[in-house]
Amino acid sequence: MSGFLALIGRDLRLARRQGADVAMTLAFFVVVVALFPLGLGPTPALLARIAPGVLWVTALLAAMLSFDRLFQQDADDGGLDLLALSGLPLAVVALAKAVAHWLTTGLPTVLLAPLLAVTLDLPAAAYPALMAGLLLGTPTVSLLGTVGAALVVGARRAGVLVALIVLPLTIPVLIFGVAAVEAGSAGLETRPHLLLLAALLAGAVPLAPLAAGAALRQAVE
């Protein structure tokens, strides 16, 4: 447990000291969302209609940008070998990495989303569903991304490859996340969609670290 927390603490410290990495991911999120009103014309009704999809898809793409570095830096400087020798199971290492990734990119995305939703004229009734959906969905994305990041350690063009591998797996999260926001803006029940997102997270928490741990084992062998 102490090793698990120490690893999260180390990653958070690294993220704070190299703040530009996190800032770039968030800047990408903001810039891409800002492109849609300019590309589609600023009609409020249209923007309110597309806001859930734009916010969710952009949040996914922003997360993809940060995955290729998740293990690659550690693999390059030998840190990954030390982690493998530390006695901490590699699945726990992967879980700690996923938690740190979510705290440094997922959580800021969730906090930025309502600000961007204002610029897209999202109806006020949809905000609770947007926030709750992102809070439940982005950890799943971080966990799935950890699997992808562990698989592409040492690969050529790892950045594109991790997106190609992980994005299809995130489709269920996207579907239910957007459905929750749309139900919210239409004044319908959002609970079923949020429960499905929670179920995906409950499945990903035990399974994704196991897969990522197996992938890391192949990477350090």
Partner 1 sequence: MHRFANPTRFLRLANALLPWLGVAAVGLLGYGLWLGLLNSPADYQQGETVRIMYVHVPAAWVALAGYSTLALASAAFLVWKHPLADLAARAASPVGAGFTAIALVTGALWGQPMWGTWWVWDARLTSVLVLFFLYLGHMALTNAFDDPERGGKAGAVLALVGVVNLPIIKFSVDWWNTLHQPASVLRMGGSTIDPAMLTPLFVMAGGYFAVFAVALLLRIRALYAERRLRQLRLSLPDA
Contact set with partner 1 (CB under 8 A): 147, 151-152, 154-158, 161, 164-165, 167-169, 171, 211, 214-215, 218-219, 221
Nearer to partner 1, 8 or 152 (CB): 152
Residues in the chain: 221
Minimum distance from residue 132 beta carbon to partner 1 (Å): 23
Minimum distance from residue 145 beta carbon to partner 1 (Å): 12
Q: 133 is written with which tokens?
A: 């959906």
Minimum distance from residue 107 beta carbon to partner 1 (Å): 25
The CA distances from residue 219 to 32, 80, 159, 214, 215, in Å, are 33, 9, 17, 9, 6
Cα 193 to Cα 197: distance, rounded to the nearest angstrom: 6
Cα 213 to Cα 220: distance, rounded to the nearest angstrom: 11
Nearer to partner 1, 109 or 142 (CB): 142
Minimum distance from residue 155 beta carbon to partner 1 (Å): 4
Nearer to partner 1, 10 or 157 (CB): 157
Nearer to partner 1, 26 or 155 (CB): 155
Minimum distance from residue 53 beta carbon to partner 1 (Å): 12
Nearer to partner 1, 61 or 214 (CB): 214
Q: 187 is written with which tokens?
A: 């004044």
* 98 neighbors 146 (Cβ within 8 angstroms): yes
Cα 41 to Cα 36: distance, rounded to the nearest angstrom: 8
